[in-house]
Amino acid sequence: MLDYETLRLVWWVLVGTLLIGFAIADGMDMGVGVLLPFLGKSDAERRVIINTVGPHWDGNQVWLITAGGAIFAAWPAVYAAAFSGFYLAMLVVLIALFFRPVGFDYRSKIADPRWRSAWDWGLFVGGLVPALIFGVAFGNILQGVPFHLDSFLKPHYGSTFIWALFGLLNPFALLAGVVSVAMLTVHGAVWLQLRTEDTIAARAKGVISWLAPTLAVLFALGGVWVYLAIDGYRIVSQPPLTALPNPLAKEVAREAGAWFAIYRNMPIAMLAPAIGLAAPLLTWALSRMNRPGFAYVTSAMTLTGIIGTAGLSMFPFIMPSSTDLTSSLTLWDAASSALTLKVMLGAVVIFLPIVLLYTLWCYRTMWGKVTVADIETRQHQAY
């Protein structure tokens, strides 16, 4: 039987896995949406692009819902603090996501070019805005979020509305947002090169040829920025890990280089940033060699490496506070009870394999290249 300490660590890994799964699956749809108005030069070509993700986007969206539910159940304190401080940002994401189901379903209902063009740009917004804001959120978390916990462990923000509007959009957070958009756009471009033919695939290959190396450079720039200019967090003292969680019972220090401590203490953790740097270049090379299947794998590795680097760098912190260091939330003191984590783990063990098998079956069943000829011969079936 897993003890409480191990359960909390297991759920840290599981939540990270869900976020990576969301980036690989639904991030692909977002990347395709970002590219839609630019790679599709005609209505038929844009329908080809949409039909590469049309049968799968709603299933892929489940990863986001599951990740949010897992955070709510496993780390309720993080859920409360994050959704309080990032409320306006999350609302913007939600509004942008509205364009996706409506755009996919309504775009082809009317043949008017203006109608279809409007929904194409709606799908663009539905892909770009969430990708950008998720990256900006990660950039702010790495810098620390301005909240504190009262004696009832309720989170408070000094100036929530003003910070939510302007404080989020600081230079480093914007860089993190650009990295997020770039990695998902590359992922979407690789998918289009894999699932389309001739002209569209060639255009997607062209995007990968410059954006994948740019992504590697931006990711390296972000690492240098963190090392030189952003102080990390370190736990000075805390209650035994077998004790009941209490975020206010620990002592936290903020110091330069703290976000790199795990790489000094556990050199194996260097695999994550190494993959984050190397995988985009491998994706670029494989795309040029017309090996989009392998390029898709290395693109997924890129997402894993970059997201994994952020998670490992902050370990064990989940949501550090910039205004009250003690209020910073970690995986040790923000977790639910041991019983809750055990019950949830049992559900994961049963249902996650079923979801994965069903998803793989869907992709296998609907696999194949999508062409303009397919769209023209299946007008009543295609998006």
Which single residue is written with the structure tokens 């003292």?
A: 237
Note the pLDDT of residue 111. 85
> Do 247 and 327 touch, CB atoms closer than 8 A?
yes
Residue 247 CB partners (closer than 8 Å, separation 6+): 77, 149, 153, 326, 327, 328, 329, 330, 333, 334
| Whole-number Å distance between alpha carbons of 145 and 85 | 8
The answer to whether the pTM exceeds 0.75 is yes
**Residues 214-258: tens digit of each pLDDT:** 999 999 999 999 999 999 999 999 988 877 888 999 999 999 999
Give residue 168's identity as a one-letter amino acid code.
Answer: L
Among 19-23, 283-287, 361-365, the minimum mean pLDDT is found in: 361-365
27-41 in b/e form (b: 16+ CB < 10 A) is bbbbbbbbbbeebbe
Summary mean pLDDT of the chain: 90
Residue 256: C-alpha distances to residues 20, 200, 260, 318 (Å)? 28, 47, 9, 18
- Helix (H), strand (E) at residue 317: strand 317-319
More confident residue, 163 or 271: 271
| Whole-number Å distance between alpha carbons of 324 and 320 | 9
- Helix (H), strand (E) at residue 236: strand 231-237
* Domain regions of the chain by residue span: 4-377
